[in-house]
Structure 1
Amino acid sequence: MGRMPGSYTGVVPVSAAQLASALSVTTVPAFITGSWSTGMPVLWVNQAFEELGGVGIDELAILGPHSLLALVQDDPNRAAAQADLKAGRAMRRIVSARRRDGGTTWLQVDVTPLPNGDDLPEYWVGVTTDVSEYVDQQAEQLASLEVERRQRADLDLIAQTTELLGDLEYPFALRDIADLLRSLVPWSGFYLNDDGLLFAEGVDVASPPSGRGRRHTRYVPEDRPLDRLEPVPSGADGGAPASNPAVDDVQDLLDGVVDGPVRLSLEGRFDPTSASGWLRRDLMHRVVEETGAVPHAVVVHAVAGRRRVLGLLVTWHGGAEADVHPGRPEPDHVSTVVEVVARRAGTAVDNARLYAREHRLAEALQRAMLPEQADVTGLDVWTYYAPNAEHAQVGGDWYDVLQIADGTVGLVIGDVVGHDVEAAAAMGQLRSVVRAYAYELTTPGTVLDRVDQLVAGMRVPRPASMVYAALEHLTEDDTWALEYTRAGHLPPLLLRDGTTQLLSEAGGMLVGFGNETRTTGREVLRRGDVLIFYTDGLIERRDRSLKRGLETLTEMSGRITARDAAGVGEELLSRLADSPEDDVAIVVVRVPDPEADRRVTALSPRSRRWLLPSEPGSIGRARHAVLRTSQAWGLPDSAAAELVVSELVANGVLHGWGNIALRLFDTGDGLRIEVEDSNPAPPVATDGHPNRLGGFGMQIVERLADWGWRPSTSGKLVWAKLRPDLTGGAGQE
């Protein structure tokens, strides 16, 4: 026998008989076949091959050409293997084969051609190796990697959901979460139980925190036969419908009778007014419209808040819905993710509604506590209040302006310790007490004595400071007599002819702690004098002492150039309250000086703001504000501006609620007026109200100004910019 390539070349030669014997007894399954053109018939197999495959040479001969392929199960790479064999190239493949006991084993098959000098081999030698253990390990690793990948994807989905739930003011938060879930299921959607089930793309935080809403009908009325219910297709076998009309699993889920999830068959028969019936109708329409497929069953998860179920999260599993059955409504990992999302959504919705309710309560309380500034004859008065944004729009600062009698005005500013509802409630009590005694008594010290007595008996839970001042008009020389007293509060500031003076007399303990009779300080105000009352939020900062803050206020006030109360306030805010660390309340009172005001145009900030109550009297106050501002800025008296601001504020009073914010800006080429109220509905120019007066307000505004509107954080803001060519000429026919 000639030497074969790769054969042993040592000193002791191996005979052909010895080589054949070795192949026969080796434990490695081996075989020899003929050429590809003859069908690769099996010519020889060893004993190990017979034991592995459970067939011998005779049985393989019966199988005919390519008999080895009959032992191999479906192989996706079979075409590539056959191409190698046809071309006479060696081939290695891992294939699955049937064992004698009916099981499956994984084999690595190596087939090598025996060279014969021709282009295509006449014989092939093959060996097989059992790699089942390796394949199983690899499959386990791949399965583990797939589980890890899926878990990472699920965690990422939950993280994205959590991020979306962090901003429920976004109007499509729930829609975007449902879109994320559609990476797991073909369709999903949220339904909130607000006055009955409603499909939800976002969260209406104005709905009650309970989310209970209106109940759907649970049972079929006795006087209503079942044949009048909506038609429902029968089961596949033509039998009865799948559901009992008296059973309402969806309502049970909403009522917390069952924890869920529950499977809802859309082929069932339900009372149309029940929760299940309503949900079935909506899903059949919605899923078909969005996916083009007809759903047969869905899985319903509860979106639960702290005390009650707020809504539902519905998932449809598409082609896999045959596996969705009552015992196992959906695959485990999908169910886990959907359940986590539903639970987090319920908590977030509940929190958002609770926060919104508390926020509305706080705002309503704050609006109720803030004064409705009285019109003060003979004085220019400007007020301002801004709670720290970190304190939910609630604080203990307050002010009051009282027209006690003709020629007599009461001024109050105070601060209750704290930034919560209790502080606001204490502030409201003090405000009522001070108002009562201010109208009864005249001397500020006496008023504060009586307040001390009553507050001590009321046991108001929070300490408070305040300044109470009374101004009386002296007609003989057109001056104002000022009397004031202080209860632990910062002294008012008097501006006169470019100089500043702290009115630090008549000091005393906090309200309710006065052990001695309160004293009264006195001053006479002349034309052009300005009084500034303020709370510590205007000057207090973490990086400086209160004393240094007072020095800064005094220094900055000496530089004020404004000739109107609103301008003085705006300059103070721009210089001292860009980023306040506490609530800020300011009252500015100026004694007008008509002669000097006409001669001088002050270089003060060209913007003004007022907070007006939603009452008809605010319309006149807004007109006066425009008139005073035009005079302070040296603008011609503009009837157009007064008319426009009247219409905008009137709309806010008639159609809005809460306080109305008025802002004026000098743009350089015209006056810009902004009015903000709490009604988000936009203004509309109409042709008037049929059969009654009115309705032409916005038409008047259109004739005199360019105008528009935009949403604001609390409602809407309407703006109007007067046309320069109409300045001073409006209202004349």
Structure 2
Amino acid sequence: MRSSTSGVGREHGALEPVTDASLSGLRDRAMESASLPAVLLAVDHDRAVIVWANTALARLTGLDADAIVGEPLTVLDPPGAVPVDRAALEERLALEGSVTWRSPGTRADGTSLWLEYTMSVVPSADGVANGDACPGSQDADHVTHRSCFVADVTRQVRECEEQRRSFAVEHDARTTLDTISLVSDLLTDLDYPQVLREIATILERGVVGWAGFFLDDGGLRFAEGINAHSVTTRGAHRIARETGVEMDALGDARAPGASTSLEHAATTFIDPLRDLLDGLITGPISFQLRTDYPVGTVARWLARSVRDKMDVAHDAGETEPFVVVSAVSGRRRVLGILVTSQQDQSSAGLDGATTTLLDLVSRRVGMAIDNVRLYAREHQLAETLQRAMLPEQVEIPGLDVWTFYAPTSEHAQVGGDWYDVLQINDGVAGLVIGDVVGHDIEAAAAMGQLRSVVRSYAFELTSPGTVLERVDQLLVGMRIPRSASLVYATLRQADESSWEIQYSRAGHLPPLLVRDGQVHQLSGAGGALIGFGSRSRATATETLVPGDALIFYTDGLIERRDRSLRDGLAALVEASERVTAMDAAGIGEELLARLADAPEDDVAVVVVRVPDPGADTSASTLSPRSRRWLLPSEPASIGRARHAVLRTCQVWEIRDVANAELVVSELVANAVLHGWGHIALRLFDTGDGLRIEVEDSNPSPPVTTDGHANRMGGYGMQIVERLADWGWRPSGTGKLVWAKVRESGARSARSRT
């Protein structure tokens, strides 16, 4: 059998046997003419130099192959390039016998490119590899040369870099969208007291190193939440500059007259933060947390505050860290700033994507703050106007008066129903209850006009019929768009125990007179709706004796869709006959408990009772052990609350009511001073003490303080703590403060229900 080589040679008739010498020359020519650049390096201890390079390398780099002989492989590196870690390459080469790496290169004309090197160990002539047969593990004494192939990978590197940049842009965009989405979700609950702190935490999760909000609420302060009712004084930082007083976070003077060089500082130092807050520059700005800013400047206060928040220590000789300050802008002015830093605090700025994200976040937060404060201002304005139209009641000496009012609308404190209890003069009281059709804002506006007219004539004229006649005449020209009904009555004290009531009705349901368990409808002196009276109005008269009770009401108390108004009136009469309470508030509570479970219209109720000292102290009642009052937010309500507690404790036979009077005074006083809207007072007999509840529309909780230096006040909740167990809870748009009074005396032996 013949070899394949000789067979091929005979078959083609052109090939000659290849000798070792001719094969060596053939290899040299093949390597020289190969298209892949290659070099051969000679190793001399720790130094490897080029001993041969082929033509392809010369074409790739533009360097003369003979000129680079004797040079190290770094001759292909660009000037100033960071050298490759040769020690690591040598270690890998010794272990694996071959190593590949990439590094930037340069052509002879200065053009940059990326080169990929593949270096291999050339075995020694005897083929001995460190005493064993493991390739690539040859002893340094036997390794004399290395081969290295060079490839141009500029296109691949640039494509990878472009792809990396594309991925980075996509990642930044996704991060921005995710962050904005989370921020938007948080801003849907602006009542959350830590909303700004949560947003800052989101930014700190991979976006920035530290973040914090500072709001300008009459002075710059660190903020974790949004105060919707803050009073903002523009330019508090400017006041500091002009007066020479250093301001703290709330704009309060910290050190009056502390800086005598402030005027000089103001003229030589331009505070970029003050300009940012004043809207003179838009930002963001790079701000260094230096400690040498002039006293009294915003820059000095912010640098100190941020250093404390970031826990940055000042070390001599070290560069002060930088932060980026972005304006938190509302519609018309800057509301505060957002301060951020990146992980490397020595850097003076953030990248473009992060800057864009912070701008979006600060703008969104600014608009949210502006919206919530605008809404709060409008809501407070609406509440102020509504509070001016809320029903009023004065204390009438010699009478027990209880009132109740509840509008149907969830968004308004007033509707079309109203009442007034007026002290016309000594011994004469006026009482009005009325109902304007509808329970919306237009009905409330019509009610306000009508109420003013009735009040005006009530103080001028004495006869109810005459008052309604004058109201009819005036309303003809006022063009009030809603029809209305009302009852106007005057109560005159006839003697020490009896009263006389005169009344006139304008299309309104008859008041009820409850006497000895019997109910009489005061249906006399009826007439057309107010403003439609074409004839003179009549006046009816009744005499009230001790124990009598009058019930005035609007149709919202008795009218339901599933029954007629006549049936509703019959239900009210029946409920009034079953009343067992010996006080006006107790009568009202019983009626509400039986009739006002699901009102479909505004409800107004006034109960007037002539006290009967003899019967009241000996009667045993089964009335509900709860009472409620709706009080206007005014100082006079404090006295009314004390009187209500006193009368209720007498009815419930709770002795020693001094503690209860003090507690209710403090709770109602706090609601008047610090709350807004109407005040709801509720009393409960729990069986082992009196529970007092006071509700207002301010959601901020009460705070126990040590008082205020150099002025009276601030000890209210301390008094409450000494006399009662107390707490609070959110209630609707406001809060409810409760206190259970500790009894200091025993009750009477009379049974309680």
TM range (shorter): 0.7 to 0.9
Residues 310 and 19 (structure 1 numbering): CA distance in 2 closer, same or farther, change over 3 Å? same
Q: Distance in 1 between matches of 2:243 and 2:710?
A: 47
- Partner residue of 1:608 out of 599, 616, 627: 627
Q: How does 1:278-357 map to 2 (within 5 A)?
A: 278-289=297-308, 290-292=310-312, 295=320, 300-315=325-340, 323=348, 331-357=351-377
Query: Which digits, 9 at most, give the CA deviation of each residue in 1:690-710, with x for residues without a partner?
Result: 999x9999898777x533344
Shift of 1:719: 1.3
1:357 alignment partner AA: R
- Partner residue of 1:47 out of 31, 51, 55: 55
- Partner residue of 1:229 out of 258, 261, 282: 261
The higher radius of gyration belongs to 2
Q: Which residue of 1 aligns with 2:94?
A: 86
- Partner residue of 1:134 out of 153, 156, 159: 156
Q: Distance in 2 between matches of 1:696 and 1:45?
A: 95
Q: How does 1:7-46 map to 2 (within 5 A)?
A: 16=23, 21-30=29-38, 45-46=53-54
Query: Which digits, 9 at most, give the CA deviation of each residue in 1:78-107, with x for residues without a partner?
Result: 776544422235545444444444444334
Q: Which residue of 2 aligns with 1:236?
A: none
Q: How does 1:500-511 map to 2 (within 5 A)?
A: 511=530
- Partner residue of 1:412 out of 433, 446, 451: 433
Residues 282 and 416 (structure 1 numbering): CA distance in 2 closer, same or farther, change over 3 Å? farther
Query: Which digits, 9 at most, give the CA deviation of each residue in 1:236-276, with x for residues without a partner?
Result: xxxxx9x9627455444444444444566777998745xxx
Q: How does 1:181-260 map to 2 (within 5 A)?
A: 181-182=203-204, 184-186=207-209, 188-208=211-231, 211=234, 215-216=238-239, 229=261, 245=268, 247=270, 249-260=272-283
Unaligned runs of 5+ in 2: 137-142, 245-258, 315-319
Residues 91 and 717 (structure 1 numbering): CA distance in 2 closer, same or farther, change over 3 Å? same
Query: Which digits, 9 at most, give the CA deviation of each residue in 1:39-93, with x for residues without a partner?
Result: 77767654323333455765665236xx479759658887765444222355454
Q: Does the aligned pair in 2 maintain the 1:706–1:720 contact within 8 Å?
A: yes
Secondary structure of the residue aligned to 1:87 is helix
Q: Which residue of 2 aligns with 1:365?
A: 385
1:433 alignment partner AA: V
For the aligned residue pairs, the C-alpha RMSD in angstroms reads: 5.4
Residues 620 and 231 (structure 1 numbering): CA distance in 2 closer, same or farther, change over 3 Å? closer
Shift of 1:152: 2.7
Shift of 1:545: 3.7
Residues 455 and 212 (structure 1 numbering): CA distance in 2 closer, same or farther, change over 3 Å? farther
Shift of 1:282: 0.6
How many correspondences in the alignment? 683
Is structure 2 residue 177 aligned with structure 1 residue 155?
A: yes
Q: Distance in 1 between matches of 2:617 and 2:566?
A: 28
1:587 alignment partner AA: V
Residues 391 and 491 (structure 1 numbering): CA distance in 2 closer, same or farther, change over 3 Å? farther
Q: Which residue of 1 aligns with 2:726?
A: 708
Q: Which residue of 2 aligns with 1:143?
A: 165
Is structure 2 residue 677 aligned with structure 1 residue 645?
A: no
Query: Which digits, 9 at most, give the CA deviation of each residue in 1:537-573, with x for residues without a partner?
Result: x678xxx848568857865885686533434544555
Q: Distance in 2 between matches of 1:701 and 1:218?
A: 44
Secondary structure of the residue aligned to 2:96 is coil
Q: Distance in 1 between matches of 2:305 and 2:389?
A: 48
Q: Does the aligned pair in 1 maintain the 2:289–2:307 contact within 8 Å?
A: no
Q: Does the aligned pair in 2 maintain the 1:395–1:418 contact within 8 Å?
A: yes
Secondary structure of the residue aligned to 1:453 is helix
Query: Which digits, 9 at most, give the CA deviation of each residue in 1:5-52, with x for residues without a partner?
Result: xxx9xx999975766655543323345668999977767654323333
TM-score by length of 1: 0.73
Q: Which residue of 2 aligns with 1:667?
A: 686
Q: Distance in 2 between matches of 1:408 and 1:189?
A: 60
2:261 alignment partner AA: L
Residues 146 and 392 (structure 1 numbering): CA distance in 2 closer, same or farther, change over 3 Å? farther
1:708 alignment partner AA: W
Is structure 2 residue 455 aligned with structure 1 residue 438?
A: no
Residues 671 and 89 (structure 1 numbering): CA distance in 2 closer, same or farther, change over 3 Å? same
Q: Does the aligned pair in 2 maintain the 1:669–1:724 contact within 8 Å?
A: no
Q: Distance in 1 between matches of 2:4 and 2:32?
A: 20
Is structure 2 residue 585 aligned with structure 1 residue 563?
A: no
Q: Does the aligned pair in 1 maintain the 2:219–2:236 contact within 8 Å?
A: yes
Q: Distance in 1 between matches of 2:575 and 2:734?
A: 35
Q: Distance in 2 between matches of 1:503 and 1:141?
A: 90
Query: Which digits, 9 at most, give the CA deviation of each residue in 1:366-396, with x for residues without a partner?
Result: 3333344233466543222344674254545
Q: Does the aligned pair in 2 maintain the 1:482–1:525 contact within 8 Å?
A: no
Q: Distance in 1 between matches of 2:312 and 2:715?
A: 50
Q: Distance in 2 between matches of 1:455 and 1:149?
A: 70
Query: Which digits, 9 at most, give the CA deviation of each residue in 1:433-489, with x for residues without a partner?
Result: 2123234445545433322322333445x52524214265797997976744245x6
Q: Does the aligned pair in 2 maintain the 1:539–1:546 contact within 8 Å?
A: no
- Partner residue of 1:449 out of 458, 462, 469: 469
Q: Distance in 1 between matches of 2:60 and 2:271?
A: 60
Residues 20 and 490 (structure 1 numbering): CA distance in 2 closer, same or farther, change over 3 Å? farther
Q: Does the aligned pair in 2 maintain the 1:212–1:309 contact within 8 Å?
A: no
Residues 215 and 684 (structure 1 numbering): CA distance in 2 closer, same or farther, change over 3 Å? closer
Secondary structure of the residue aligned to 1:669 is coil
TM-score by length of 2: 0.71
1:414 alignment partner AA: D
